[in-house]
Amino acid sequence: MYITIDPYYTNQFYNESKEALKNNNVQFRENIYIKPPYNWYFKLDQAPIMVNYDKLSEKDSRWVVSIVKPLTPSDEYKLLRRDNDIGPSALLKFIENEPMKQARESEFAVFFTVQNREELEKLSKEFPGKIWYFGKYYSNKFRVCLCTNKYIMNYLNTNQILLEKTKEHADSGRFEADLNFKIFRGKDELVKYTETPYFQDGLYNRPKIVGDKTVQKNKFLI
């Protein structure tokens, strides 16, 4: 379930609540609703106690996207929620890492899938550009890649294409939200880190893993 405490508490209390969840070994994810009032949500397995909260309806859950996960203490500080982080433009630093920023600013972007590492290595040798890799999703059905160079389409089969950017994806977070809702059927959500693995010239470039190594290894392995 998605719950928000934004209408009732300060950003400082939100940050303290997040630390309490970590200290108590409670599994959670952070999300932002990409439509007004742009509330922040915790995704939890059970309802919290001793705090006021609002629950997001299943219908509206299609408009939440994940917060970028920090890989270093410096990243964690930059992504700390502050009182002046208000409105859609201010939220971009929380919902966009480098590849998602490129996707929003580029005229073209496409999410696609590959069968295995060998296929992606071969593709990156033939295609003269960078291919971002986001990991496995939807019960490992998709190995999700992102490219912002339109010539990638010359190297892909139709059944590999998950979602191509359209004019409606100019809205912040909409491209990601549609991937979660239309392709993952609401059963999974894109996970983003401050650094993202990518393939180029047949080589896999993977960030140094720190912090929550289990989660990161799962997403960085292919």
- Dihedral sign for Cα 115, 116, 121, 122, please: negative
pLDDT at 21 over 60: yes
pLDDT top residue among 159 and 89 = 159
pLDDT at 132 over 70: yes
Radius of gyration over alpha carbons of the chain, in Å? 18
Q: What stretches of the chain show up as alpha helix (H) in DSSP? A: 11-23, 73-78, 87-90, 92-95, 98-105, 117-126, 174-178, 213-220
What's the pLDDT at 9?
96
- Dihedral sign for Cα 188, 116, 173, 167, please: negative
Query: Distance between CA atoms of 74 and 23, rounded to whole angstroms?
Result: 20
Cα diameter, the chain: 57
pLDDT top residue among 6 and 170 = 6
Nearest to 65 by CA among 173, 185, 138: 173
Q: What is the pLDDT of residues 51-107, one digit of tens each?
A: 999 999 999 999 999 999 999 889 999 999 998 887 778 889 999 999 999 999 999
pLDDT at 116 over 80: yes
Phi-psi category of residue 156: left, alpha or beta, with phi > 0 → left and psi -120 to 50 → alpha: beta
pLDDT at 41 over 70: yes
The mean pLDDT value for 126-138 works out to 95
Distance between start and end Cα atoms, the chain: 29
CB-side exposure of 65: number of CA atoms within 13 Å? Answer: 23
What's the pLDDT at 90?
81
pLDDT at 175 over 80: yes
What the block records as the tokens of 101 is 């920023």
